[in-house]
């Protein structure tokens, strides 16, 4: 399997090269040249197998000979040692809980797979890398946890000052060892821009052997297709003949890009709902056909506060600018903080179920879709984070604290260690080099 630059198809790389460089040399995003196609018998077999087993088989289609089959099976078994459960609110409304990994966020799926693949290649060649990642919430903690302790990897996490929840900040600033947190005086778009500028500075890139773990890296996107692929097969088996729709809280669009790739591979998914907060450039694009990114606005669903989602360009490439084709597969809606709070409270009162604000945006998207488009669908709200990661907001909205799992409770006892830097490439370079 080869991967090509979204800006120039003549620039190609194999999986190892695409993973270890992050961006193509022209600044484009790597895209797979093709997607695997599976027979009905293969899909039936997948539906009977465990998630790690299916993840390894799907991954092999993209990894090719870069990683031996037996090693890829081990990587997926180690990465996915946690459950991927559904929670039923009603017979036709389910919540896909993607927060049962070590950092209690869906980012664990991609970060753990990616870290093990990177380690595999670095150990083979006895190389060292500097990992640069921007976070608007859960990415930093997940990536830092996944790469923590790797002797051949130095990790720098950029996050916007005041732009993540207190617990999320604790998760990414208390890791220590080879992981350093950089608190940026700016917003997430500034952090993401700084990462991209660092990659485009070839001298700096060569000097520190740079790579990224943001969703600009195709190694972050591909693993996010695995759970859509596998869970939709489980639903098809349990609910034969039903139209399956996933409502995805959407910010940088990496999560839903993975879903659209899974659909391209034959996952039995009828449609995706792109649910956004007041940062809704993609919802606007679906409605108008014009992509007009802007400055991000701060909301209670902070991980989605992205004014210029980088994975828009992957989705555009995936559909070859066929807007009508995209609209058949995707539908969008956006919601305010007041609507999000109301949904969190309504779900708890109605179902005795606690939702984080991002999941609540996804829930709202599903309700609107059922009301305005098709009430008969089997709807799946994608839950991206444990509600306890937003304790202050949960107390404000629901009136009580959320019981934290031990893996979250333990980080609260550690002291925050972060270096404050300005929102420019010069400050970032000086910090890393010194």
Backbone angles phi, psi at 346, to 5 degrees: -65, -45
Residue 5 falls within a domain, yes or no? no
Kindly tell me if the per-residue pLDDT of 170 is higher than 80.
Answer: yes
Which residues in 70-101 are b (16+ Cβ under 10 Å) and which e?
eebbbbbeebbeeebeeeebeeebbbbbbbbb
**At 373, which CATH number?**
3.40.50.1100
When pLDDT is averaged across residues 379-398 and rounded to a whole number, the result is: 95
Residue 349 falls within a domain, yes or no? yes
Could you tell me which residues come within 8 angstroms of residue 124 by beta carbon, excluding any fewer than 6 positions away?
none
Q: Is the dihedral of CA 109, 110, 114, 117 positive or negative?
A: positive
Kindly tell me if the per-residue pLDDT of 183 is higher than 80.
Answer: yes
pLDDT band for 317, please (50, 70, 90 cuts): very high
Alpha-carbon 51 to chain mean position? 18
Q: pLDDT digit string (tens) for 69-96? A: 999 999 999 999 999 999 999 999 999 9
Question: How many structural domains comprise the chain?
Answer: 1
Q: Note down the domain range covering 328.
A: 83-105+221-405
Kindly tell me if the per-residue pLDDT of 145 is higher than 80.
Answer: yes
pLDDT at 200: 85
pLDDT band for 212, please (50, 70, 90 cuts): confident
Residue 182 falls within a domain, yes or no? no
Q: Taking a C-beta distance cutoff of 8 angstroms, is the pair 309, 293 a contact?
A: yes
Give CA separation, 21 vs 16, 112, 348, in Å. Answer: 8, 18, 44
Strand ordering across the sheet containing 30-32:
12-13, 3-5, 30-32
Kindly tell me if the per-residue pLDDT of 387 is higher than 80.
Answer: yes
pLDDT band for 368, please (50, 70, 90 cuts): very high
Residue 238 falls within a domain, yes or no? yes
- In the chain, the percentage of residues whose pLDDT exceeds 70 is 100
Residue 428 falls within a domain, yes or no? no
Mean pLDDT of the chain: 93
Lowest mean pLDDT among 44-53, 195-204, 273-282, 321-330: 195-204
Residue 151 falls within a domain, yes or no? no
Residue 423 falls within a domain, yes or no? no
CA distance 332 to 18: 30
Task: Give the global pTM.
Answer: 0.91
Q: pLDDT digit string (tens) for 51-72? A: 999 999 999 999 999 999 999 9
When pLDDT is averaged across residues 374-394 and rounded to a whole number, the result is: 95
- For tokens 């090509």, the residue is 4
pLDDT at 412: 86
Kindly tell me if the per-residue pLDDT of 215 is higher than 80.
Answer: no
pLDDT band for 192, please (50, 70, 90 cuts): confident
Kindly tell me if the per-residue pLDDT of 137 is higher than 80.
Answer: no
Residue 4 falls within a domain, yes or no? no
């Amino acid at each position: 399997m080869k991967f090509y630059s979204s800006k120039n198809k003549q620039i190609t790389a194999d999986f190892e090269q695409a993973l270890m460089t992050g961006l193509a040399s022209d600044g484009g995003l790597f895209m797979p040249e093709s997607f695997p196609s599976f027979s009905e018998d293969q899909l039936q077999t997948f539906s009977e197998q465990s998630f790690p087993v299916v993840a390894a088989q799907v991954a092999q289609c993209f990894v090719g000979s870069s990683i031996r089959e037996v090693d890829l099976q081990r990587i997926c078994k180690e990465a996915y040692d946690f459950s991927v459960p559904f929670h039923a609110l009603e017979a036709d409304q389910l919540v896909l809980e993607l927060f049962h990994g070590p950092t209690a966020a869906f980012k664990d799926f991609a970060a753990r797979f990616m870290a093990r693949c990177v380690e595999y290649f670095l150990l083979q060649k006895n190389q060292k890398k500097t990992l640069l990642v921007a976070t608007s919430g859960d990415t930093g903690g997940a990536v830092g946890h996944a790469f923590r302790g790797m002797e051949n990897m130095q990790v720098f996490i950029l996050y916007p000052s005041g732009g993540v929840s207190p617990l999320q900040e604790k998760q990414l600033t208390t890791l220590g060892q080879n992981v350093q947190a950089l608190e940026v005086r700016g917003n997430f778009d500034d952090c993401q821009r700084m990462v991209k500028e660092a990659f485009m500075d070839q001298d700096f890139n060569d000097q520190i052997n740079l790579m990224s773990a943001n969703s600009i890296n195709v190694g972050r996107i591909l693993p996010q297709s695995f759970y859509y692929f596998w869970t939709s097969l489980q639903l098809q088996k349990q609910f034969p003949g039903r139209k399956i729709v996933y409502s995805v809280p959407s910010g940088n669009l990496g999560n839903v890009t993975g879903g659209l790739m899974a659909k391209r591979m034959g996952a039995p998914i009828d449609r995706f709902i792109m649910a956004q907060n007041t940062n809704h450039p993609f919802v606007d694009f679906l409605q108008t056909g014009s992509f007009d990114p802007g400055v991000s606005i701060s909301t209670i669903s902070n991980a989605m506060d992205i004014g210029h989602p980088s994975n828009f360009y992957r989705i555009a490439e995936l559909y070859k600018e066929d807007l009508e084709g995209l609209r058949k597969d995707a539908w969008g809606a956006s919601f305010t903080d007041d609507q999000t709070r109301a949904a969190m409270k309504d779900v708890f009162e109605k179902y005795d179920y606690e939702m984080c604000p991002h999941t609540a945006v996804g829930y709202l998207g599903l309700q609107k879709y059922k009301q305005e488009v098709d009430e008969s669908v089997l709807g799946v709200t994608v839950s991206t984070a444990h509600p306890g990661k937003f304790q202050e907001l949960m107390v404000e909205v629901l009136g009580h604290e959320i019981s934290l799992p031990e893996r979250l409770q333990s980080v609260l006892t550690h002291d925050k260690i972060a270096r404050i830097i300005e929102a420019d490439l010069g400050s970032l370079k000086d910090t890393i080099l010194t």
